[in-house]
Amino acid sequence: MKQLLLSILGCCSLLAGAQQVTVVKQERLLQGVEGPAYYPVLDRTGARLLFASGVEYGLKLYDMNTGAVTPVSNERCAGIDATFGNDGNVYYVGQKINENNLIYRTGYKFDVNKASIDIVLEAQHGAVTHAVGTRGVAMRGPRKNYASARNIGTAVDVQGSNLLITVNGKQHSYSPVESYAGYLWPSLSPDGTKVLFFAAGAGAFVTDLNGKVLASLGNYEMPCWYNNDYVVAQNATDDGHQFTSSQIMLLKADGTFRHELTKSTSMSMQPTSAAGKIVYTTVDGLLYVMEISIND
């Protein structure tokens, strides 16, 4: 029996060791062209990249095929939570402070082909969130909402410690993980069957479309899907005032595997991924693109 157990453990060790991740490409983006860049977001094709720039975190669009950089908005914080819709357009929220120091947020759509901007959600005081669905985009504010289609398909959003999952236009609320500080960074897997989110104080989790927890990935921030089976995320530490380390991690979506893509001393953070590309920035705002090979 002891010999059989050792044999089984040996086989398991071989299987675990067989999984290898290789970085096949890693290069700096926009070197000498742009200043510090943060909050990168790739479109589904991996050809276009949104990023925040300037002291007010305005929004810019980078075409990775042509090298062209297009300013989208100089409005305050426009680049912090911008996203591409399934229609290829850019959706973002700008902020303005009125004479009473109250922050008002406005929802915008930037037509990439026409380079035109439309207001889709009028200014309102309070938080404005968005959900990118398989058929459309929704923005939700405290008083007004917007949807680019009557049925946005399958989508995910968060509100406090509630996971809001929309399937076929019908929204359901779940609280699969206890988190007094709330949920962050929700996203839908590329095949639309799983949900990824971060629960403050608890870590990153994967659920099905009914809010059932499928895996706990660990205390990794800003998680996003690499493909249907893997996730990239930020692993950072701080001293209460500033970051002391930060790196990009590759995590298997079932929680069985993790791998360092960058060193903790690299101060790399805020990953985004699509079409086999991983883009991230550093604490100094230096953008990098990475491509990897996974041998299962």
Residue 7 has a pLDDT of 42
Query: In this structure, which amino acid lies at residue 116?
Result: S
Residue-range domain boundaries for the chain: 34-150
Per-residue confidence (pLDDT) for residue 19, from 0 to 100? 82
- Kindly tell me if the per-residue pLDDT of 17 is higher than 70: no
Global confidence as pTM: 0.91
pLDDT tens-digit readout, 119-178: 999 999 999 999 999 999 999 999 999 999 989 999 999 999 999 999 988 999 999 999
* Cβ proximity of 187 and 156 under 8 Å: yes
Question: Has residue 20 got a pLDDT over 80?
Answer: yes
Residue 18 is predicted with a pLDDT of 57
Residues 251-274 have a mean pLDDT of 97
* Averaged pLDDT, 238-244: 92
Q: What is the pLDDT of residue 78?
A: 97
| CATH number belonging to the domain at 34-150, selected among 2.120.10.60, 2.60.40.420, 3.30.1490.20, 3.40.50.1110 | 2.120.10.60
